[in-house]
A and B are shown apart, each in its own frame.
Chain A
Amino acid sequence: MFTPNFSISQSASTPSIFTLTDTSAGSDGAITQRRIYIYQSDGTTLVPTGTMTTYVNFPLISGNSIDINVLNIDYALNIIVQWLDVSNTVLYSKQGLYLFTYYSELFYYGLTQFQTSQPNLIDNPNYYGEKMKLRVSLDEAASSVSVGNDITSAEAALTRAQYLINNTILFY
């Protein structure tokens, strides 16, 4: 009996990397290979630089974990792991929607750090209003994933957050 499963965690030291860990239970002797598909909200796949396929190969021999370097910006990603036999037949598949917000949260935290030297800044309605928009966008992205399992809404919220960050000079 084989029960497919996996977990994801974004690296704190190298945020462009996330680690996928195969947490499947049981075994199936027919499994000979694993593949990871990383879908963006527009349906295209993300792969590390230099990868020729639309998936990331995750050989059994490499163990239970693999580091994947694709997170150059924040993403909502639909990640599918497949367990295949020697004939490339998919025996098991598991998918999950994941949110990666390191860069936006880092920027957001930077604002709080800035406020420690300018404590009255939060009473500036323009500043506070724009910062709140950023918080709302990030919370919206999180709830789109955790509650709605909705990659389109999550990505749209991240895009709004990115717009606020890119145009920070206009707001702050």
Chain B
Amino acid sequence: MQTISYIIQLAQVSGYLADNDIVRSEFLNNGYLDPLLPTKIYMERKALEWAYGQTVKLGSSPDAALQSAGNYVVTLCGKYGVLAQNIIGGGTGSVVIPASTPVYYIPVEVQFIVDGSSPMPTDSSTLVINDTGINISSFKIFSNTSLVPYNVNTQYSYTYVQSPTYLTLTFNIPAQADQLISYSYLKAI
């Protein structure tokens, strides 16, 4: 059973992690996360903090109701609680060491119409994106507003080769004139 003071720490870190995850999710247009979760965690943590403070003032131990409220907060934290546990150190009191080089992401979106001088010219099967820090897991490319899948032989798709300074996409069908190509990704800075 986790102590109330530990759960309060857990909720503090979880709220941050959830908030961060939601921001990333917005970049990726994956709107399946509850955008209010960080606020909900904050709201319940504040209640827990206050009640725990009163218990400490009285010099008593947390009662069953307070422990139950604490367990509820852990449940609310969900997967972020598990991640927070790794950061905090599993309740052993270890110090949180910030990453020496924190990574931040900015969204990049590019759109063009295929012609003789576009980044991927007419009849070409290759598109080279010269950029650093491309987060490949966030990469999405659309042809005429339809998502182009990765490496599916039976339909229009692409494969890629990535290096630190560029991303080369190879399509299984050459580009057609007036084809609308748009792509987006997160760029680490």
Is chain B's interface secondary structure helix, strand, loop, or mixed overall?
A: helix
A110-128 at interface with B (beta carbon < 8 Å): 111-113, 115-116, 119, 122, 128
Q: How far apart are B83's CB and chain A's nearest CB, in angstroms?
A: 21
CB of B40 closer than 8 Å to a CB of A: yes
CB of B58 closer than 8 Å to a CB of A: yes
Which B-chain residue is minimally distant from A12 (CB atoms)? B57
Known contacts: A122-B40, A135-B43. The answer to whether A109 contacts B72 by CB under 8 A is: no
CB of A108 closer than 8 Å to a CB of B: yes
Give the contacting residue for B65; candidates A12, A113, A132; CB below 8 A. Answer: A113
Measured between beta carbons, the chain B residues less than 8 angstroms from A139 are 46
In contact, A128 and B58 (Cβ under 8 angstroms)? no
Is chain A's interface secondary structure helix, strand, loop, or mixed overall?
A: helix
B48-56, B95-103, B115-123: which lies at the interface? B48-56
B31-62 at interface with A (beta carbon < 8 Å): 36, 39-40, 42-44, 46-48, 50-51, 54, 57-58
In contact, A13 and B72 (Cβ under 8 angstroms)? no
Which B-chain residue is minimally distant from A15 (CB atoms)? B54
Give the contacting residue for A12; candidates B40, B58, B68, B76; CB below 8 A. Answer: B58
Q: How far apart are B52's CB and chain A's nearest CB, in angstroms?
A: 10
Task: Mark A residues whose CB is within 8 Å of B.
Answer: 12-13, 105, 108-109, 111-113, 115-116, 119, 122, 128, 131-132, 135, 138-139
30 contacts between A and B (CB under 8 A): A12-B54, A12-B58, A13-B58, A105-B47, A105-B50, A108-B46, A108-B50, A109-B47, A109-B48, A109-B50, A109-B51, A109-B69, A112-B72, A113-B65, A113-B68, A113-B69, A115-B44, A115-B72, A116-B68, A116-B72, A119-B72, A119-B75, A122-B40, A128-B40, A131-B43, A132-B39, A132-B43, A135-B42, A135-B46, A138-B46
